[in-house]
Chain A
Amino acid sequence: MTAPARFTSRFPWHLLLTVGAVAVFVLTVGFLSVRGQSPAAPAIKVINLIPASLSGETNQDSEPFLAIQTANPQVMVASAFTPNPVSSTGNAPVYVSQDGGQTWVLNAITPVQRMTCDITHAMATGESHPRGDLHAGTLACASSITLDESESNDVASSATMDVQSTRGNVDQPFVRALGVSSGDRIYVGVNDFNQQNGHTATVDVSVDGGASYKSIPIEARKTMGQDGPSVRPAVASDGTVYVAFFGWRKFDGKTATSDVVVVRDDSAATGANPFQVLKDPSDKLPGALVVKNTSIPWSNAPTLGQERIGSTLSIAVDPNNSSAVYVGWADKGNTGDIYTLHVRSSADRGATWSKTDLPRTTISNATNIALTVANNGVVGLLYQQLTNGRWVTHLVQSHDAFATSQDLALATVPANTPTEQFLPYLGDYDYLLSVGNEFRGVFCANNTPDFANFPQGVTYQRAADFLTKTLNDGSGNPVQISIDPFYFTVPVIQ
């Protein structure tokens, strides 16, 4: 990067030395600005994932996801709608960090050509590969959309991920995994249009590290012909597996009348009839109804700012108390809202749910909800809200079910720039995980290098000049603003 040289030319040293302490301060801030590092408190980090060697890229790198290796949290894999940077026939890449997120590289190892159309992943470590056991679910952007369930034993190598299962006619794979001594257990939520009777909400379960998968339909009620796209598993270390999904009862093209349903299995979905134990008292059918017949707007066009809406859903379980579980979703909630988030909880393994939203979790005009629970029981809530023409990315933490909470704005960026290249603009999801005493996550945002846009500070790997608020290609040539993925780590409140 050429940033230090620029600094020298902008701030002549002999002048700085004559103005004393004030100038020293300016120098410090200026230096950090040009380097793309903020003077913010070191514990919170926000890092632009685009590597320095791809400083010229201008893709809409939306819809981020994150996997953290359980055994060694220094190793992480992130993803977005990032194309292969050099070839239209090469493999779609993922971002890899081996130093806890300080630096990231792009490595083209997925089995999909050029760019995925959906990708999620998890890194359980039941198979004990130091930089591996990455399990991914990908959709290929081909004329027929195909799901691959695949594995890498070394995400730093150039080896293409091994495809273990593949089939068509499914949507939005969402991968979670649990490493156990016998190998990795993998749970892939999918909306499987191959299922009978419109019971499309499905979990693909592998209890042998992906060597074999079994597709398990989890919808028990009549649907309008299918369920909603989002099917979200959450796995506790004791083998409890929850799955949340939208049970679509009616659909008129613009609005889905939907239940928010949660199923549970207490033995890692290894039994003969998994996900049957949680029955709703209203009809005695499997699947607790967190909310019934809510109206969810569906728009596959720019609707919330430049973003589409229709299926944002998250579920999280306390890693040390699998009875405590949280669900968040968006619907047509408040009058005047386009899209409203809600969070509810259960303390009895999903048998009963809070009748109303948890305090301060009815959130107007927001999307991309992601929930997780830290080791100490603190709940993390990530979402992106359209506020006064800006996309504001929030991380909220609470140790008392949101009676009190800490709300951090990680980014606040213009919502009208850049112009969308395709949908989703920011993503149909973002992601949040906990590891040790940290919340770690990913979101996408306008990449203008402006510290005012990142209240907690930010570090860019790519060439950026925070003084002029411009990007360049590493050789000084200007690069236009685009959507980039950002990684963050925030300490869990005590």
Chain B
Amino acid sequence: MKRGHAAPIGKGAKMKVSSMVVAIGFCVALLFAMEPRAASQGASDQVSLLKQSSIVFSGTVTQLGAASFAEVPKSAQTIVVRVDTVLRKPAAVSLKRGDNVTVEVKDPSAFHEGTRATFFTDGWIFGSGVAVKELGHQAIAAGEANVPAASESALGKAQEEAGKEELKQRIAAADFVVVARVTEIRKWNVPKSGQYRVTEHDPDWHDAVIQIESTLKGPKVKKNRLVVRYPQCNDVAWVHAPKFEKNQHGIFFLTKDEVSGKPTASLDGKSVMTYTCLSPGDWLPMSEEARVRAAVKSQS
């Protein structure tokens, strides 16, 4: 759970894929069609800006030093922008053409009433309207369309880079990356000498014994078997951690168990170290195997 993810977790994160794809494509196209000043930035910086932005839209500045709804503290850095086109937003956020958005900008002198721009932003305050913080912007010249034609290749590049980066981080953080099948599930009872605590956030630890079919990262393991300790509990603290069933087959990104308090288990009559994979995405289905193998190979 310490790692970042490309998309937020939970129902609120269920972005509409099709609109997101179009939006990303458009954003990247915009970035590639920037004015000389902005275009002087490296392409990787531009994609990075796009990836940082949770809300991207084009619009027209209507007020300076103002706010679009009462609860936003207005300042010299806040401007009101009328939305012309929404390019990216989480599904939970209600934002559409014609809405007025408060933008806390980095440099107010870059804007005047009537300025048209694409705003790359992060969410700030959500009330009767939306207030955001500028991460970057790109001015739209007079006569230029609000939505230039999207670039399929640029879209593909941005999506691919985002996915690669997340996977790269996940692989780097893991002690083992293995293709394996769960052969046994057993409840792990904290030893009486251990720090067993009754709490609503009790993870209800279970051990999944996995049979390794292929090791993509990490040392060779005796008999190709490992014990993965995971929280079976549906408490708010653990709900997004991967849960396992017997015969579950997939790719495991494992780190040494630093959570359960006693990172050992019995396997084939011997005490072995336990591992965890607690973040969503630390277990992937076999359909992701080729992508993971390629990523591991590129890092080795």
Contact = CB atoms under 8 A, between A and B. Distances in A.
B239 interface: yes
Given A96-B71, A229-B200, A300-B235, 7 more contacts: A63-B236, A145-B237, A172-B200, A421-B10, A421-B239, A423-B235, A474-B96
Contact of A54 (B10, B126, B278): B126
Interface string B228-263: 000001111101000000000000000000110000
Given A105-B71, A105-B127, A143-B2, A54 B8 contact: no
Interface stretch (A15-23, A80-88, A433-441): A80-88
Interface string A427-469: 0100000000000000000000000000000000101000000
A305 B12 CA distance: 25
B91 interface: yes
B236 A423 contact: yes
B49 to A, nearest CB: 15
A482 B92 CA distance: 13
A319 interface: no
Contacts of A475: 94, 96
A344 B104 CA distance: 52
Contacts of A98: 70-71
Contact of B94 (A311, A424, A473): A473
A55 B94 CA distance: 6
B9 A88 contact: yes
Nearest to B201: A145
Interface in B88-146: 89-96, 104, 122-130, 133
B199 interface: yes
B1 interface: yes
A193 B123 CA distance: 37
A402 interface: no
A449 to B, nearest CB: 15
A117 B126 contact: no
Contacts of A298: 198
Interface string A75-99: 0000001011111111000001010
Nearest to B4: A89
Contact of A88 (B5, B91, B128, B198): B5
A237 interface: no
Contacts of A193: 195, 197
B76 interface: no
Contacts of A58: 11-12, 92
A57 interface: yes
Given A51-B128, A158-B133, A86 B9 contact: no
A430 to B, nearest CB: 15
Most chain-A CB neighbours within 10 Å: which of B12, B233, B259? Answer: B12
Contacts of A105: 71, 125-127
A106 interface: yes
Interface residues of B, number: 54
Interface in A133-151: 139, 141-145
Most chain-A CB neighbours within 10 Å: which of B7, B54, B125? Answer: B125
A143 B278 contact: yes
Interface string A164-182: 0000010110000000000
Contacts of A83: 8-10, 12
Given A51-B126, A53-B126, A482-B11, A88 B4 contact: yes
Contacts of A225: 196
B200 A54 contact: no
Given A54-B126, A90-B122, A107-B125, A226 B197 contact: yes
Contacts of A473: 91, 94
Nearest to B197: A193
A143 B197 CA distance: 16
B161 interface: no
Contacts of A411: none
22 contacts: A51-B127, A52-B94, A56-B92, A56-B93, A57-B92, A62-B236, A83-B10, A85-B90, A86-B55, A86-B122, A87-B8, A98-B70, A98-B71, A106-B126, A117-B236, A142-B2, A156-B73, A172-B200, A229-B199, A256-B198, A301-B234, A311-B200
Contacts of A424: 200, 236
Contacts of A158: 104, 124-125, 133
